[in-house]
């Protein structure tokens, strides 16, 4: 009667860690999407204001 367990079934162990890694990667990507979209929104707003100012100055001259 041996208490030593033969760890030849590494596919189960690695699949669990692959799932955990995929979940962590998805959470990181989702947490980064929010600030990136917010920054792009504000940059777009500034660009739109810049185009508006340029158009007004061009129309006056």
pLDDT tens digits, one per residue of 24-51? 999 999 999 999 999 999 999 999 999 9
Average pLDDT, the chain: 86
Any domain includes 38: yes
Any domain includes 19: no
- Model pTM score: 0.53
d(C-alpha 26, C-alpha 32), whole Å: 10
More reliable by pLDDT, 12 or 49: 49
| Number of domains making up the chain | 1
Any domain includes 37: yes
Domain that holds residue 56: 32-61
**Other Cβ atoms within 10 Å of 50 Cβ, number:** 10
The whole-number pLDDT of residue 25 equals: 95
Any domain includes 56: yes
Any domain includes 45: yes
């Amino acid at each position: 009667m041996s208490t030593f367990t033969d760890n030849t079934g590494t596919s189960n162990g690695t699949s669990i860690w692959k799932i955990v890694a995929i979940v962590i990667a998805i959470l990181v990507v989702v947490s980064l999407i929010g600030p990136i979209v917010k920054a792009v929104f504000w940059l777009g707003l500034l660009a739109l204001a810049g185009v508006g100012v340029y158009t007004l100055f061009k129309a006056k001259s």
